[in-house]
Amino acid sequence: MTCKVAILVSGTGTNMEALIDAMSDPEFGAEPVLVLSNNPDAVALSKAHRKNVPTSVIDHRNFRHDRRSFDRKMNEALVEANADIVCLAGFMRILGEEFVRNWENRVLNIHPSLLPDYKGLDTHRRAILDGREQAGCTVHLVTVELDAGPIAGQTAVPILPGDTPDSLAARVAKAEHRLYPTVLKEFIRAQQRSS
Summarize as ranges the residues that interact with ligand GRF (CB under 6 A). 11-16, 89-90, 110-112, 137, 176
Query: What interhelical angle do 165-194 and 14-23 show, nearest 10?
Result: 40
Q: Which is nearer to ligand GRF, 72 or 169 (CB)?
A: 169
Q: How far is the CB of 113 from ligand GRF (least distance, A)?
A: 8
Q: How far is the CB of 1 from ligand GRF (least distance, A)?
A: 27
Burial of 52 (0-12, 13-18, 19+ CB in 10 A): exposed
Q: Is residue 111 annotated as part of the catalytic site, yes or no?
A: yes
Q: Which is nearer to ligand GRF, 15 or 38 (CB)?
A: 15
Beta bridge partners of 109: 88, 140
Q: How far is the CB of 139 from ligand GRF (least distance, A)?
A: 9
CB 43 within 8 A of CB 13: yes
Q: Which is nearer to ligand GRF, 134 or 192 (CB)?
A: 134
Which residue is catalytic, options 60, 111, 124, 140? Answer: 111
Strands 107-111 and 30-37: unpaired
E strand or H helix that includes residue 74: helix 67-80
Measuring CA to CA, how many Å separate 27 from each of 86, 178, 179, 180?
A: 19, 16, 17, 16
Q: Which is nearer to ligand GRF, 106 or 124 (CB)?
A: 124
Q: How far is the CB of 65 from ligand GRF (least distance, A)?
A: 26
Would you give the DSSP letter of residue 146?
T
**Number of neighbours of residue 118 by Cβ within 10 angstroms:** 22
What residues are labeled active site?
111
